Every structure is written in C-alpha cells, then in structure tokens.
Structure 1
C-alpha cells in the first residue's frame, strides 16, 4: 500500500540523495552539474513542511513529493520515486492521492518538467497540458475537477 507521510528533518538526506540520483542525468543535458552548487541550491529550496515522504506498506520510504498551494492552484514542485520502484504505477497512485486530497482546495495543478524527462509523457497521460515552455522546461497544468 502506498501512503504519504509528513517529512521529518531526518528525511533531508534521503530526499537529497534521491533528487541527485534521478535529476542529475536529466539536468546534465542542459547544464554543467556541480555537486556542491546543486546541494546548496537544494538546501535553499527544501521545504520540509511542503514535503511528504512516499512509503510502501508503511515501512519503506520509496520517494517523496513536494507541493505548495498558492491561491487557487496547487503547484507540484517535486515528485521522485526510487529507481527500483519506478514504472510500477506508484507515481500514478501518488498523483491520485494528491488530486483526491486537494480537489476542493484548488482549481488546478501546475508543474515544471524538463523536456527530456520521460515523466513528461506521464503528466500528459494524467491530463496535464503544456501552457508555456522555455528552451529546457515545459510548464504544464490541469484542472483538479478532472479525473486522474
């Protein structure tokens, strides 16, 4: 069973390690990756209160998600699943949990995704459409009244 629990300060290292493991291969296509700089940036952006740890059967941490509500929109800042658990439908279950939990609180959900990230197709399949783009990133949005 997949569940979301509030992040603790002790989860910081887990979140940082998973972030580096999953995003570094994508980011290096667009920029030079300097571990020390990226770790400092992560530290400045980490928001424990906006983060939930994704657990499997209540005993194993397998990912994390960070989101923030702003006015009538939920912004999905980060969603990472440990590689051994990817492509098993976990991200879809997490998305459904978030959408169900926040359906009445916001009208839409938005996110940024690297153009070379395979997750782009996942978000399209879950009703997100491109609303803006940069040379490296798609900005995507979907209504929360829509089915996940």
Structure 2
C-alpha cells in the first residue's frame, strides 16, 4: 500500500542520502563533480516521505505559489523505481494542480533522463537553459 507522510527533522539524513543517490550521476555529468554543499538539507517544508508497504522509498516536495504549484523534488530509491510509484505520486500532484486550476511547474537538469518521464505525463518544455529544462503542465 502506497502512502505519504510529512517529513520530520529525523528524516534529514535519509533525504540527504536519497538526493545524492538520485542526483549525483546527473550532477557529475553536468558540472563534473558532486558538491558537498548538497549534503546539507536545510528545509523539510512541503516535503513528504513516500511509503510503500511500511517502508520509506522516496520523497516528494511541492511548493504552493499563488499562481502555480512547483514540484521541487520527486525522488525514489533505486529499488523502488520502474514500479509505477513515481507515476502514482506524480498523478496525485497533477490532480492537486488541476483541482486548484493552476499549472504545475518543475525543472530537470539537461543531463537527467527524468525529462522523458515528465513528458510522458503531459508536461511540455516551456523554457530551457544550458543547465535545465523548465516544464509546465
């Protein structure tokens, strides 16, 4: 059974590990290294831990703005990827944006293959830089 719970201060080490596990390869591909600054988790505001059958398997962080929702993170542990968990969580966030009749926005590094995941879920690139694709749905 899939659920979410609010992240707590005690989750910070897990969240730091999860971010590095999910993003290190793409950061190194773009910048050439992994920054130790990324090993600090300053805030858990808006962060929810994804729980599958009683086990923490990822996180999702959504920021609410007056004119859109911003999907800041959607990370899943490697062992929980390609099982539909990310899609289920993303569809929940999409439903929240649609319920508020506002766009859902996010960005991905240009080196991150997650771009295809978001395009398959109806996002489109509305802006890009050398570093990131900015998407909207």
TM-score normalized with structure 1 length? 0.86
Contact 1:115/1:138 (<8 A) preserved: yes
Map Cα deviations across residues 27-77 of structure 1 (whole Å, 9 max, x no partner).
01111435532224xx34xx31210000002x1000001110111200000
Secondary structure, aligned partner of 1:92: helix
Taking the aligned partners of 1:127 and 1:114, their CA distance within structure 2 comes to 18
Match of 1:146 in 2: none
Contact 1:7/1:48 (<8 A) preserved: yes
* Structure 1: tracts of 5 or more residues without a match: 143-148
Moved over 2 A (4+): 32-38, 99-106
Establish whether residue 100 from structure 1 lines up as the match of residue 95 from structure 2: yes
* Structure 2: tracts of 5 or more residues without a match: none
Match of 2:10 in 1: 10
Q: 1:78 aligns with which of 73, 77, 85?
A: 73
- 5 Å matches for 1:110-121? 110-121=105-116
Question: What value does the CA root-mean-square deviation take over the aligned residues?
Answer: 1.5
